[in-house]
Structure 1
Amino acid sequence: MPLTLDTDEVQPPAALITAPLPARGRKRAAGGLGGGKLLPGAKVSRVLDLPQEKLIKSISAIAVSKKRAAVGFQLFVGSVVENGRELSSHDLQAQTQRLLDQLKCDAVVSEINGGRGIVNFKINQELLAKTVVQQVSKDGSEYGFKSELLSSLPRGKMLVEFSSPNVAKRFHVGHLRSTIIGNFIANLMEALGNEVTRLNYLGDWGMQFGLLGAGFQQFGCEEKLKTNPLQHLFEVYVQVNRVAEKDESVQKAAQEFLRRLEGGDPQALSMWQHFRALSIEEYDRVYKRLGVYFDEYSGESFFQDKSQDILKLLESKGLLLKSVKGTGVVDLSEKGDSSSYATVVRSDGTSLYITRDLAAAVDRMEKYHCERMIYVTDKSQENHFQHLFQILRIMGYSWAECCRHVPFGLVQGMKTRRGDVLFLEDVLDEARTRMLENMASAKTTKALDDPHDTAEKVGLAALIIQDFRGPLLSDYRFDWDWALQSRGDTGVFLQYTHARLHSLEEMCSSETSCDFNPACLQDPQALSILQHLLRYDEVLCKSCEDLQPKHIVNYLLTLSHLASVAHQALPVKGSAAEVAQARLQLFKTVRSVLASGMALLGIKPVRKM
């Protein structure tokens, strides 16, 4: 837990000290609530004969629950046994009792108890309140990330490839998940201290573009292209696909256009460049609405020539084989019996998606020297990335072990009032429209300078939270009515809570002072919030390790519910000055953590709604 109790009134007790950090983590984790974990350091270390740093991940803040109002930490004795040696139930209890007998209470720890392999430490509640509130105020958006718990996580250069729509097509709703998930991962890794490159790898090559090129020559209209470029290109693509299903000559025309394109034909290249530029211009407008940006736009087209270098390298290493169909394949079977292989070149010599991905991966490593490379795509591409990483390893690239695919499931049932939707902007427009209607009908809605902007931000929060609540790999059914509820576990509720707390701060701005009496924050509702805030670094650590946003989402929703209860039970206005000031500081602390957590998820907190 991010807790270092450092006060003028209390000297650090001998039994409870902050464990020293590894050298690489000292700078980020220096001092304070965010800088260390309250550990039963010296004595526990001696009793278990372990270095203190091994205890960091074995002690956690007790989770807030309706049944348990404990304030403090738990040490899991079984997880700190040296060399992972398993203990029998009897030995585990003996070790636990040994700790209980030797650890004593002091000015920081008011009570020690335990059993069944767990030692509980109840913390001095006034000291807890003072330390938590002051540390959140000091660290701001970095709160939690300075914890020793996160100090051992790897940091360095990282590339995140996400969104990756197909050129010359309107932004499909299917790319929403890749976009917001990739944005979350990039935000989280940057906050952890990584140097992150956000890359959009456009689908701007291959047979789909061959079809579009051939189709535009037959069905395209320059006037319509000027008026609504991507809508017209989409209509052309649908039309040519429909015709190609029945007319083999259209398929041949598409293959011929692709060959011309790959051969550098000026007319084909000019058409491709024009469609690509129009697409990026349109995508940038949508990304702006989502609050997403990219450091680099790349695409399959960039690696057409370099993919030939990959094929030559595979051939020189004896890895490129010819199949009976004349295609080029790489044998991925362990025994070399061709029971499993990946196709890397067509029989006519044109490249494939995986060939260009191989070239792109090699090029990125040479350019960015990343410690990690993350690909965010739907789960249907899991097999593709398994083959990609395996071929890279076979080619001798040891850094392939640092490549990771983050797959996600599909969204089902996403409809507007006009019916099923294909395009992301239709969903964003629908979310904004419905939120405007809800805000107009709500009695508590404030007068807003820009209601459309507020509705846009709240509507996007609704989309993101419904998407992020469960495991990314799971499919889920989208539900507008549920997503836009203001009182459920929704993005609207998070935005409402943030706006409510911000209004409270504005209303009580004359009473604002950093000084407060922690004795005034001993109500059960206040202690529950403080205890929950202790767990923030644990939640961040989980998300950094598995790249799942659900941990942060569920944490923020619980924090919002605790704040809602406390807002009713602990009024600021009308309370004695000392009590009001302490409560105001508590609510400012909640709003600060709520805002920084929402920002990680890609949500812009609103101040009024």
Structure 2
Amino acid sequence: MERHIFALQLSHLLGESFSREWVYAQIEIPKQETHGDLAFPCFSLAKHFRKNPKDIAEEISLSIKHDVFDSVSATGGFVNVMLNKKFITSHTLKQLLSEPGEFGTHSFGEGKKVVLDLSAPNIAKPFSMGHLRSTVIGNAVANLAEKCGYEPVKINYIGDYGTQFGKLLAAYQRWGNSSLIKENPLHELKKIYVKFHQEAEKNPDLIEEGRQWFKRLEHQDEEAVELWTWFKDVSLIEFNKVYQLLGVAFDLTRGEAYYNDKMEATIELLKENKLLEHSEGAEVVRLDEEGLPPCLIRKSDGTTIYATRDLTAAIDRYQTYAFDESLYVVGHEQTLHFQQIVHVLKKLNFEWADRIQHIPFGMMLKDGKKMSTRKGKTILLEEVLKEAIDKARENIEEKNPQLENKDETARQVGVGAVIFHDLKHDRRNDVEFSLDEMLTFEGHTAPYLQYSYVRAKSLLEKGGFTSSSAAAEIDDPEAWSLIKTIRAYPEKIKMAYETYDPSTIAKHLLDLARSFNQYYAKTNIVNSHNKNEKLTLVYAFSLVLKDGLQVLGIEAPEKM
């Protein structure tokens, strides 16, 4: 509210040359609280007004007035605003406590549907740390969409088709052991898949053998389909164990193979629109005008490629959901692929092609290198989750052995640590896998946030606080930093969704917990004369922190 008021007054004073949107984007929060709560830099105005930024700031500061502002001053080319603490505090608490579940929500997505393609592990391979990013980023973006009024539809588009499965079938025929696979499915399937690539370096004929098995699968050969179905079924059982641990659920789980008998219609559509061309025996759609390489639709041996399936899937999703946004939460190495998909759909005159967005993210690295199943260099997510849970349980046994529900709390803390370690990073950056850093229960971690929540709940319990006894107003100068951080939460939700970056919320929650713990350290809360006011603030903090953790897909234990 106060930013909008400030921007409105500024844009009115500056004239038509500076839009309210531009002015709003320039408003900053000073690094030092003594400089103000909001600041507008005047340096970019100097050329237009042919004046010193300092003089411009001084002129503007004399004309800015509103009940929400306590004072306005000019310092070194900035217009600095001190907010009316009493007004802002009262307004924030009224907004939050009247409807706690609505704080942070927005309505700009109402009546709109957003489809998210996330997680998408490949069958017959263990669920590795490499797939964690798509899963937790996509899940958090879906939660953010819901906070903004959208109806999110989460699709787990399982990788169950392609030439790699021909290689796996060939590997099974040579080295597969059905008893061992039944006993430990994904471990054994991964083992023979890695062996296939090792042997293929010595015997290149194996690659052709894999191609032939994939052709058999495409042509619905009974043996190939039976083996492939078995591999798929056991894989989904193992994947679901990981999803249960992560607390992630999907609205639809569908494999690429679902589109096997539907791709011909897409290819015919490309032919009808005279988009399909022959190139060295293969069929492609040229994208020369778009400055992109051709999009391969069918290989020279007649087999399709994942671009064909993705085009078919995109058409099917629009027909099914009539989405307003379609988000593909997939690593940045697939950027070119999604550029090609969107441009081919545009050439087919689908007006909704512009609603498709690739949400890229950096890789999960190990020792600075990409993890690879083919080379056997993977770290299994389920093992990491279990180790994190075990570490959390050890901490509980050491610090609070009398705690009830120790196993459940250990799960909440351990899983939360793994999720937050990923989401605290800007999604576009690579993340170096570090079990030690992930499982540190101090600093910029989920356990730090969860412990801050538990501390707040303990204070409320000791003070005998109930939501019905919340104070309508708080007059506590020491609480100002915390109030401002609570108040910023709705804006951070909006920003996080608009940039599709959950790290905005992760970082804000760290700021929120830091403000709370500083307030706790210097304030006597339970034994103060205005205990109820202080506990109301603690209660407000706990509501926002818990909501933010839920947005990230992390649980908040009541005790630790």
TM above 0.5, yes or no, is yes
Q: Does 1:592 align with 2:543?
A: yes
Q: CA deviation at 1:102?
A: 3.5
**Matching residue within 347, 350, 364 for 1:397:** 350
Q: Distance in 2 between matches of 1:178 and 1:301?
A: 21
The answer to whether the Cα contact below 8 Å between 1:39 and 1:55 also exists between their aligned partners in 2 is no
The answer to whether the Cα contact below 8 Å between 1:130 and 1:518 also exists between their aligned partners in 2 is yes
Q: Does 1:606 align with 2:553?
A: no
Q: Specify whether residues 97 and 381 from structure 1 end up closer, same or farther in structure 2 by C-alpha distance, changes over 3 A only.
A: same
TM alignment of 1:48-447, pairs within 5 A: 54=20, 58=24, 63=29, 65=31, 67-69=32-34, 72-74=37-39, 87-88=48-49, 90=51, 97=58, 99-104=60-65, 106=67, 108-114=68-74, 118-146=78-106, 156-324=112-280, 326-334=281-289, 340-413=293-366, 421-442=378-399, 445=400, 447=402
The answer to whether the Cα contact below 8 Å between 2:416 and 2:447 also exists between their aligned partners in 1 is yes
Segments of 5+ residues of structure 1 without an aligned counterpart are 4-36
The answer to whether the Cα contact below 8 Å between 1:229 and 1:278 also exists between their aligned partners in 2 is yes
Q: Distance in 2 between matches of 1:535 and 1:564?
A: 18
Aligned equivalent of 1:10 = none
Q: Does 1:580 align with 2:531?
A: yes
Q: Specify whether residues 284 and 86 from structure 1 end up closer, same or farther in structure 2 by C-alpha distance, changes over 3 A only.
A: farther
The answer to whether the Cα contact below 8 Å between 1:60 and 1:73 also exists between their aligned partners in 2 is no
Letter in 1 for 2:449: L
Q: Specify whether residues 46 and 257 from structure 1 end up closer, same or farther in structure 2 by C-alpha distance, changes over 3 A only.
A: closer
Q: CA deviation at 1:144?
A: 2.5
Q: CA deviation at 1:276?
A: 1.6
Q: CA deviation at 1:463?
A: 2.0
Q: CA deviation at 1:180?
A: 0.7
CA RMSD of aligned residues (A): 3.2
Count of matched residue pairs: 553
SS at match of 2:396: helix
Letter in 2 for 1:570: T
Q: Does 1:535 align with 2:505?
A: no
Q: Distance in 2 between matches of 1:118 and 1:40?
A: 13
Q: CA deviation at 1:269?
A: 2.1
Q: Distance in 2 between matches of 1:347 and 1:568?
A: 70
Q: Does 1:484 align with 2:439?
A: yes
Q: Distance in 2 between matches of 1:313 and 1:140?
A: 51
Identity %: 31
Segments of 5+ residues of structure 2 without an aligned counterpart are 369-375
Letter in 2 for 1:434: K
Post-superposition CA distance 1:246-285 (Å, at most 9, x none):
3344333322222222112233222222222222222112
The answer to whether the Cα contact below 8 Å between 2:396 and 2:403 also exists between their aligned partners in 1 is no
SS at match of 1:264: coil
- 447-456 vs 505-514, which deviates more? 505-514
Q: Output the TM-score relative to the length of structure 2.
A: 0.89
The answer to whether the Cα contact below 8 Å between 1:215 and 1:237 also exists between their aligned partners in 2 is yes
SS at match of 1:344: strand
Q: Distance in 2 between matches of 1:335 and 1:540?
A: 35
Q: Distance in 2 between matches of 1:410 and 1:372?
A: 24
Letter in 1 for 2:335: E
The answer to whether the Cα contact below 8 Å between 2:392 and 2:414 also exists between their aligned partners in 1 is yes
- 379-388 vs 232-241, which deviates more? 232-241
Q: Specify whether residues 515 and 407 from structure 1 end up closer, same or farther in structure 2 by C-alpha distance, changes over 3 A only.
A: closer
Aligned equivalent of 1:502 = 457
Letter in 1 for 2:387: E
Q: Specify whether residues 195 and 152 from structure 1 end up closer, same or farther in structure 2 by C-alpha distance, changes over 3 A only.
A: closer
Letter in 2 for 1:430: E
Q: Does 1:462 align with 2:427?
A: no
The answer to whether the Cα contact below 8 Å between 2:93 and 2:473 also exists between their aligned partners in 1 is no
SS at match of 2:262: helix
SS at match of 2:155: strand
The answer to whether the Cα contact below 8 Å between 2:94 and 2:472 also exists between their aligned partners in 1 is no
Post-superposition CA distance 1:31-58 (Å, at most 9, x none):
xxxxxx6625986675456799946971
Q: Distance in 1 between matches of 2:171 and 2:7?
A: 71
Q: Specify whether residues 517 and 252 from structure 1 end up closer, same or farther in structure 2 by C-alpha distance, changes over 3 A only.
A: closer
Q: Distance in 2 between matches of 1:409 and 1:202?
A: 20
Q: Specify whether residues 121 and 220 from structure 1 end up closer, same or farther in structure 2 by C-alpha distance, changes over 3 A only.
A: same
SS at match of 1:408: coil
Q: Specify whether residues 454 and 351 from structure 1 end up closer, same or farther in structure 2 by C-alpha distance, changes over 3 A only.
A: same
Q: Distance in 2 between matches of 1:144 and 1:60?
A: 23
Q: Output the TM-score relative to the length of structure 1.
A: 0.82
Q: CA deviation at 1:329?
A: 1.8
SS at match of 2:304: coil
- 44-53 vs 295-304, which deviates more? 44-53
